[in-house]
A = this chain, B = another copy of it.
C-alpha cells in the first residue's frame, strides 16, 4: 500500500525535512551514496542511532558453507555475502562534555538533501545539548564518480550560543556489530567479525587499516586523511589499532568562526595483491584527493553528472512526484553501475546488504536496457563481467549435465549461490537474459569488437545450454521441461512461455553470430550441424496456447491449475511467500510477478495485439506483485495494449517503490532493477520504445494527466531526442548525428540532424479496465493527485 510521501516533490533533489527515528533503515538506503565500486549507506555522521551501518566494495564478499536439511548432488556448497567493510563515514562530536546524539538534547532542525545533479548528500542540523549549549553542524558527503576509490566528507561545526570547547573524532572502524536478522530470506545473511586485521598504521592526520576475510581470502585496505580549516589552537591526536583508526581533534569554538574538517577516504581491495601494495594504493589515492581538494572533487562530481543527465534525463510534465522519482531512479542506477567496471551490478547496488549483495537476472533484464540507451559503455562493462565468469558457468553447466554455460541465479563472484534450486538454478531464463542484453547492446551500438570478444561467446554458450536443456518431442516440437520462469510462485514447469520465447531469441542470436563471425564460432568449436540445431530448435520452439481460454498459459499446465483463493487471503498475508508454503503457491494460478506479461514486452514480436490484450487481462487478475519487478513490466504492457490509466498507476508504483518503501524492505537497500524498471516503464510504456529483432520503434501515448514526456536515446553514436505530448511526438537528432531510420506507430521515419520530425499519435480506442486480485489494485495516480484520500480502489 502506498504510504504518505516522505519527501517533497522537488525536481532535482530528495529532501528529508525531519529525522524519523522509526525509519532510519529506510533513509540509510535512500540516502546511500555509491559509484558502483564503493558505497556508503546514508548513516548519520555520528554513526548512531543506526539501523544498518554499511560500507560496501563491489565484489568484496565473504563465503560461508550453505547448509541443507537434506542435501543433493549439485547443490551449491558455499554462499557469498557482501561484507560491511571498514567504516570511514564516522565523525563523532563532543560538545563540551556531551556527545552530539539525536536521542539526547534537543534537535531543533535536521535536514538532509540528496542532490541528484551535484551527487552529494548534505546535512544541516541545529542541536542544543541537555546542558543548553547550541551548535550548528553541516556535512556534505560524496562518493566520487571520477575517482572510484575515493569518498569525501566536509564536516563543519559552529558554536551558536557563545564560545565552547568541542572535540571531533573521525574514525575508521572495522567489524562493527550488526543486529540479528528478521528471518525474511530476502534480507541477506548477517555475518559478523569477518575481517581479520593485517595492518594498522597512522602518519600525521592519516590512518590506514588493512584486513582480510577468513574464508574468501580477500584483502581490503581503507585509509582516511584530514584537512582542517578555521582551526586555530586545534589539538589533534591520531591512533591506529587493529580494528580502529581514530583522529581526535579538540578546539575552542567561537560563534561565527566554524571549524571545518575535510575527511578524505580511500578504499582498495584485491584477491591477489599483497597487503603492502593495497596500502600503497590507498596512500596514493589519498594523496591525489588531497592534492585535488574537496572543492575540486565536488566540481568534478557535478561535471560527471551533467554529462550523464545529458544522455539520460527523462522529463515528465504533469506529475512532479514521478518526475522526482524517475530522476532518483536514474541516479541510483548510475550509482550502482558507474564504476562497477570489472564487477557485477548487485540487485541492491551498494546501498545495503539485502539479497547478500548478489546480482541476479534483473541486471541484464531491467538495468541494462536503461544503460544501453543512456550510457552504453556501462552496459558493455556489465556484460564484460558476465563474460569473465564464463568458465565458472561452463563448469556449472557440466555439473548439471548440460552443455554450454549455465550462469548462476545469484552470485557475487560467479559461482551459483542459490540455496534453493527450484527458484534458483532452475530459473535458466537468466541465460537468455544475458543473451538478450547482448543483442540489445549490439543493436544500440554496433560494437563489433564487443561482439567478437565478448558478446558472441556469451550468446553461443547460452544457446548451447538451451540446445541441451530442451529436446524435440514426437511431433518435432522443441520442448523445455522442468524449469522455473520469472514468476517464483510457480516452479519446475514444462514449457514456460517466457523461457521458451527468450530461449528462441537466444538460439537465433547464436546462429546469427555464427553467420556473421564464422571465425569466432569456429574458435568455439561450432560447426554447421550445431548451428542447424539451434535454428531448428528456435523454429520449432513449443509455445503452448490454451484454445479454450484463448490465452497463453504461463506454462503448458498453468491454466488447468486451481485458482488462488483471493477471497480468503488477508491483506497482511502479502507478500504470500512469507505466509504461504511454496507447495501451496506452486500448485495454483497465482502470479508473483510478470512472467508471460514480461514475454509480451520483451518478445512482443511473437504475439498479436489481440493476444497481448487477452493474455494481459488474464494474468492481471492473478498477479499480486509480490516482487518489485512486476509493476514496471505491467506498466509497459498495460500502456501497449491500451490501458493507459492503469499503466500510469503502475508507473507510479514502480517509480515510488523505494521512496515510499512500498515493499517494506528498502531498509536492506534500494531495488536497483525496480528503479531502472520505473524508467523503462515510462520510456517503453508512454514513450512506446521497442527494440525487437534489429529494429528501433516508437509507439508513444500519454495518459491523461501527463502533458509531456521527453527523453534522449543513445543509439549508434547518436543522441536521438524524443518529446511526446498528448497529440504528437517530436523526434530530433543531435546536431552532428548521422541520419537514422526507425518506425513510429509502425511507419518508417527517416530522420536527419537539424530536421526534427513531428508525427501524430493515433487516438486510443476505449477499453474496459482489467481487474486485479481483490485488494491488490494499484493506487490510482488521480487519487494521489486530487487530495488526501487514501482510497485504494482500482485505477481506471
> Which of A236-244, A264-272, A582-590, A623-631 forms part of the interface with chain B?
A582-590
Q: A482-B587, A557-B556, A577-B72 are in contact. Are A582 and B421 (CB under 8 A)?
A: yes
Q: In the complex, how many angstroms separate the beta carbon of A75 from the nearest chain B beta carbon?
A: 7
| Max count, chain B CB within 10 A of own CB: residue among A74, A183, A426, A587 | A587
**Judging by beta carbons under 8 Å apart, are B400 and A583 in contact?**
yes
Bound Cα distance A68, B189 (Å)? 12
Q: In the complex, how many angstroms separate the beta carbon of A732 from the nearest chain B beta carbon?
A: 49
Across-interface contacts of A425 in B (CB, < 8 A): 581, 583
Q: A72-B577, A185-B71, A420-B70 are in contact. Are A426 and B560 (CB under 8 A)?
A: no
- Asked if A234 is an interface residue, CB under 8 A from chain B, the answer is no
Across-interface contacts of A183 in B (CB, < 8 A): 71
- Asked if A492 is an interface residue, CB under 8 A from chain B, the answer is yes
- Asked if A105 is an interface residue, CB under 8 A from chain B, the answer is no
Bound Cα distance A487, B494 (Å)? 18
Across-interface contacts of A492 in B (CB, < 8 A): 422, 491-492, 586
Q: Which of A41-62 contact B (CB under 8 A)?
A: none
Q: In the complex, how many angstroms separate the beta carbon of A190 from the nearest chain B beta carbon?
A: 14
- Asked if A401 is an interface residue, CB under 8 A from chain B, the answer is yes
Give the nearest-CB partner of A426 in chain B.
B583
Across-interface contacts of A71 in B (CB, < 8 A): 183, 185
Contact of A580 among B76, B401, B579, B580 (CB under 8 A): B401
- Asked if A471 is an interface residue, CB under 8 A from chain B, the answer is yes
Contact of A399 among B562, B577, B581 (CB under 8 A): B581
- Asked if A66 is an interface residue, CB under 8 A from chain B, the answer is yes
| Max count, chain B CB within 10 A of own CB: residue among A66, A474, A494, A581 | A581
- Asked if A418 is an interface residue, CB under 8 A from chain B, the answer is yes
**Judging by beta carbons under 8 Å apart, are A562 and B481 in contact?**
yes
Contact of A69 among B418, B426, B483 (CB under 8 A): B418
Across-interface contacts of A747 in B (CB, < 8 A): none
Task: Using C-beta atoms within 8 Å of the partner chain, give the interface range for chain A.
Answer: 35 or more
- Asked if A19 is an interface residue, CB under 8 A from chain B, the answer is no
- Asked if A204 is an interface residue, CB under 8 A from chain B, the answer is no
Contact with B along A510-533 (1 / 0, CB 8 A): 000000000000000000000000
**Judging by beta carbons under 8 Å apart, are A185 and B72 in contact?**
yes
Q: A583-B421, A583-B426 are in contact. Are A471 and B73 (CB under 8 A)?
A: no
If over half of A's interface residues share one DSSP class (helix, strand or loop), that class is named, otherwise mixed; here it is loop
**Judging by beta carbons under 8 Å apart, are B67 and A67 in contact?**
yes
Contact with B along A90-112 (1 / 0, CB 8 A): 00000000000000000000000
Give 12 new A-B contacts, CB below 8 A, not counting A69-B76, A402-B584, A557-B557.
A67-B67, A69-B75, A70-B418, A70-B420, A71-B183, A72-B185, A72-B577, A73-B579, A421-B583, A426-B583, A474-B548, A481-B560
Bound Cα distance A10, B747 (Å)? 90
- Asked if A229 is an interface residue, CB under 8 A from chain B, the answer is no
Q: In the complex, how many angstroms separate the beta carbon of A297 from the nearest chain B beta carbon?
A: 41
Across-interface contacts of A69 in B (CB, < 8 A): 66-68, 75-76, 79, 418-420
Across-interface contacts of A421 in B (CB, < 8 A): 581-583
Q: Which of A382-417 contact B (CB under 8 A)?
A: 399-402
- Asked if A736 is an interface residue, CB under 8 A from chain B, the answer is no
Give the nearest-CB partner of A578 in chain B.
B73
- Asked if A694 is an interface residue, CB under 8 A from chain B, the answer is no
Bound Cα distance A402, B483 (Å)? 26
**Judging by beta carbons under 8 Å apart, are A582 and B72 in contact?**
yes
**Judging by beta carbons under 8 Å apart, are B67 and A581 in contact?**
no
Question: What are 24 A-B pairs at a CB distance below 8 A?
Answer: A66-B69, A67-B69, A70-B185, A70-B423, A72-B420, A73-B579, A73-B581, A74-B581, A399-B581, A400-B584, A421-B582, A474-B548, A479-B560, A479-B562, A481-B562, A481-B587, A482-B583, A482-B587, A491-B492, A492-B492, A492-B586, A494-B557, A494-B561, A556-B557
- Asked if A547 is an interface residue, CB under 8 A from chain B, the answer is no
Across-interface contacts of A572 in B (CB, < 8 A): none
Contact with B along A447-479 (1 / 0, CB 8 A): 000000000000000000000000101100001
Q: Which of A352-402 contact B (CB under 8 A)?
A: 399-402
Q: A401-B581, A557-B481 are in contact. Are A562 and B72 (CB under 8 A)?
A: no
Bound Cα distance A561, B494 (Å)? 9
**Judging by beta carbons under 8 Å apart, are B419 and A68 in contact?**
yes
Across-interface contacts of A587 in B (CB, < 8 A): 481-483
**Judging by beta carbons under 8 Å apart, are A422 and B419 in contact?**
no
List the 3 closest pairs (A to B, CB-CB), nearest first.
Answer: A69-B419, A67-B67, A482-B587
| Max count, chain B CB within 10 A of own CB: residue among A473, A482, A561 | A482
Bound Cα distance A337, B699 (Å)? 74
